Structure 1
C-alpha cells in the first residue's frame, strides 16, 4: 500500500512540475472532408525512374502507397516544358524533358519515360489515386528568354502570342495520358509560384512568372481548350500554387473580382510562408471551391536533421487546423543524399542505394491513419489534430510535441458515448512508428498519456457518438 501511494504521489508531483494539457475533442464541430495525402513527382520520379531497377522502383512505390506504409493517394505529375537543348545550366534531376520540341514538331510521347514509369506503377498499385498535372514552365521556344527557368529579369516569360498554344500543349498531354494509359488528371495546374521573381534565365530548375492579368488570361484560354475538347467532365483547373498563403489569398481575391473563380475547380496554395490560413479557408468556403495545400517543405528553415522533420510535423498540424485543406501534399518524396532536410527517402545516385529518413516516419504518423473520407473535427490544442472515420467509429488523434521535455496530456472524450483506445504509435529521435503497450483500462471519458520529448504520437480510438 505504501509503495502504491508513493507511485501515485510521484506521478502527481511529476505532473505538477511539467504541467498537464487537457485537450477537449468535440465531434459535433466538423471541418474539412479529407481527400488524402500526396506528393509531387517532380524531379525525383524523372531521375529515379530512369536509373533504378524495376525491383527497386517497386519497393519505392510500395512505400509510397501501401496501406501499411505512407498510404499516399494524391500525385502531382509534372508536365515538363523542356529547355533549349543547347543549355546545360539546370541541376541534373531538374532537367525535365518536354513533349514538343518546336512549333513545327509532332508530339514525342516517348519523352519523360522515368516519370511515366513511376506514374504507371503508382496507378497499378493504387487505381483510385487522384492525379494532378502541374506545369512549371512552357516549352523554351514559347518563352521570351528562350529558357525554361525564367525571364532574364524574373518577370513574365510566356510570349504574348503563345498563350493559346501553351493551353493546347497542356491539354494535349493530359488527353494523351487519359487515352493511352487511362490516367485521369482531375486538374491541371498551369502556373507555379507565379508571383515569385526568382524565376530567372539560366537557373537551376524550370519556372515562369505570371502577372495577375496574365494568369487570368491563361486560365481563360485553358478553360476554353478543355471545353472545346470535351474534357471538363473529368478535368478542371487549379490555381495558382503561390509560394505564400498570403499571396494566394490576394490572388484569389483578384480572381473573384475579375470573375475568374467560375473557371476554377480548385485553389492550390503552398504553405512555405504566410499566416492568413483562416482567411484563405473562409474565402474558398464562401465560393464553394475545393482547397489544397499542394506543396510544402522546410524552405529557408535553418534546423537540421530530426528537428527539421519535427518542425514539418507541426506544419502539418497548423495547416490542417487553420487552413483546413482537403488535401496536404509534400514537395519531395526523394532527393539526393541521406541527410537532405527535404526528403522522406534519401538516395545515392552513384551506387543506386536509398533509405527512409525520419521525415518518412513522421509523415507516416499522419498518412497511414488519417485516411481519405475522414472528417476533421474540433479540438482545442494547437499541437493536435483529430479526424473521424466515415462510419464515426474510428477516431484518430495526432499530437506533436516539439519541446525537449515530457508533456502530460489528457484527451477529453466525454462528447462520445463510448471511447476505447485501440492503438498508440509514436516516433521519436530514437523510435520509428513504434507501437506502445496499451493501458490496462482502455475505455473511459478521458485518456491520460505522458508524451515523450520531441515526438509525434498517434492515438486510435474506437468510438460511438
Structure 2
C-alpha cells in the first residue's frame, strides 16, 4: 500500500515535483489486440469469456474500491486474410495463428466469420471502450500474388493492380463490421511491420517498401472518401522505431517519418484527408540498454515535433534477451516482467512523447512474455490466468484516459536508490494522475510537491501481492513524505481544487 503516514523534511526522501503548467503530448489511448486467440476464446463459456473481457475493458470498481479491470481505451481487431479457411494448405502450421476472412471466394461477404473476435468487439464496447482499430497483417488471399497470407522471398504479396480492390475491401470491412456488430472501426492499419520478410509461414504477413505503402494508402484514401467510411488510416506500424528515422538495414523501407510526412517527399501522404496525423512504430528491439533506448526516443520526439504529428507506439511485448536485462522466453505472471514493461511504457511516454501505447496480444496460450492474460490452449473451454503485466498496464490505462495531457515531473535524490524512480504525471480537466515505478528491492520515501492546490485522494498499487489495490491517502499541503513499496507501480489520483 501507499503509506498514509507523513513526515516533514526527511533528508532521505526523494523529491518529486509536478509542474502542471508545463505540458507535453496529449494522450489518445492505451490498447491491445485480439490476435490471435480471441477467435477461439470468444467461443468459450459465457462466464469465463465475460470475466476475461472484464479484466481487459471494465472501468468498474470492486467492493473494496480496487479496479475490476484495466479499462483499455482502444481495442485492436485483426482483419484476417483467410488463412483459416485454407486450413493446412495455408502454409501456416500453427492453426492458432491463422485467421478467418469475411471475404468469400466469389467476392461476397460472410459477416458470421471471425465470430469470436466480433464477440470481443461487442464486449469491449459494452464496457465503455469507444476507440477501435482494424489491422490487416496481409491482404485477403484472393488478392495476394501467391494466393497465400504470407509472402515469398521478402517481396510484397500485393501487386499494384490490386490496390483498388484491397482499398474497396477495407471500406466494406468498416461498414460490414458496423452493421454486424454495431461497432465502428475508427482506424484502419493496412500494413504491419512492412520491413520484415514474412516468408516463413509463421503467421499472416506482407512486406512493403515505402513506395508501395504510399501507393496503397492513396488508393485507400480515395475509397474511404468515396464510400464515406469515416475511418482514418494509421501508418506504418514500423517493425521498430529505428525505421521511422533511418534506413538502417532496409533501404526503401526506412526514414518513414520524413518519407510519408514531409511535403517534399515523393511518398508524401500526410496531407491525405483519410490519413491519421500520426505515425506508428513498435518498440521491439529498442528498449535496451537503457541509455540507447533513451537516445533513440529523444531523436524520435524531436523529429515528431518537427513534423507536427503524433507518435503512436502501436505494438510491444517482451521479445529477445534485451541486452541481458530480461529474456522474452517463458511466461512470467509475476512482477519481474511487469516492472520491465512499466519501464518501457514510462520511457515511451516521457521520452518519445507517445500519444498512444498498445500492447501486442491481449490473450496468449504460449510460453512467452507476450500476453496480458494467459489461457489454456483449448478452443472451447479452459482456465485463464491474469498476469502482473496486465495490472501494471492498468496503472496507466485505467487512470490516464483519452484527452489527458502529460505534465512535467522532475525527480531529485534518485542517487539514494540503485534504480531511479520513474515518475510520470498527467492532467485531464481537473483530474490529476501520477504514476510512480519503483524497481528497487527497497521501499522509497517520496516528497511530492505540486505547483497547484491539489487533493490526492487515492492510490492504486500493483506489486507481487497486489493488483491495483486501492487505498485512501492522507493529503498534506506541500512536501509530505510517503512510502512507495519496493518492486511496485503506484498510481496516485486526485483533483485540482
TM-score by length of 2: 0.82
Correspondence for 2:212 = 214
- Confirm or deny that 1:408 pairs with 2:408: no
- Confirm or deny that 1:124 pairs with 2:126: yes
- Confirm or deny that 1:238 pairs with 2:231: no
- Confirm or deny that 1:429 pairs with 2:441: no
Unaligned runs of 5+ in 2: 1-6, 60-66, 246-254, 287-292, 412-420
Correspondence for 1:53 = 45
Deviations 1:234-290 (A, max 9, x none): 212110001211212321211122321112213222122344334434444444434
The structure whose RCO (Cα within 8 Å, separation 6+) is larger is 2
**Residues 359-370 of structure 1 correspond to what in structure 2 (within 5 A)?**
359-370=389-400
Which structure shows the higher helix fraction? 1
Report the Cα distance in structure 2 between the residues aligned to 1:463 and 1:105, rounded to whole angstroms: 56
**Residues 304-323 of structure 1 correspond to what in structure 2 (within 5 A)?**
305=332, 306-323=335-352
The Cα shift of 1:31 comes to: 1.5
- Confirm or deny that 1:260 pairs with 2:289: no
The Cα shift of 1:100 comes to: 2.3
Correspondence for 1:38 = 31
Correspondence for 1:28 = 21
SS of 1:344 mapped into structure 2: strand
**Residue 188 of structure 2 contacts residue 231 of structure 2 at CA under 8 Å; is this kept in 1?**
yes
SS of 1:333 mapped into structure 2: strand
Report the Cα distance in structure 1 between the residues aligned to 2:476 and 2:357, rounded to whole angstroms: 32
SS of 1:398 mapped into structure 2: strand
Structure index of larger Rg: 1
**Residue 318 of structure 2 contacts residue 369 of structure 2 at CA under 8 Å; is this kept in 1?**
yes
Correspondence for 1:443 = 476
Report the Cα distance in structure 1 between the residues aligned to 2:183 and 2:465, rounded to whole angstroms: 40
TM-score by length of 1: 0.87
Correspondence for 1:277 = 297
Alignment coverage as a number of residue pairs: 437
**Residue 90 of structure 2 contacts residue 149 of structure 2 at CA under 8 Å; is this kept in 1?**
no
- Confirm or deny that 1:170 pairs with 2:170: yes
Report the Cα distance in structure 2 between the residues aligned to 1:221 and 1:21, rounded to whole angstroms: 54
**Residues 299-378 of structure 1 correspond to what in structure 2 (within 5 A)?**
299-301=319-321, 302-303=326-327, 305=332, 306-336=335-365, 340-350=368-378, 352-378=382-408
Correspondence for 2:436 = 399
Report the Cα distance in structure 1 between the residues aligned to 2:243 and 2:135, rounded to whole angstroms: 19
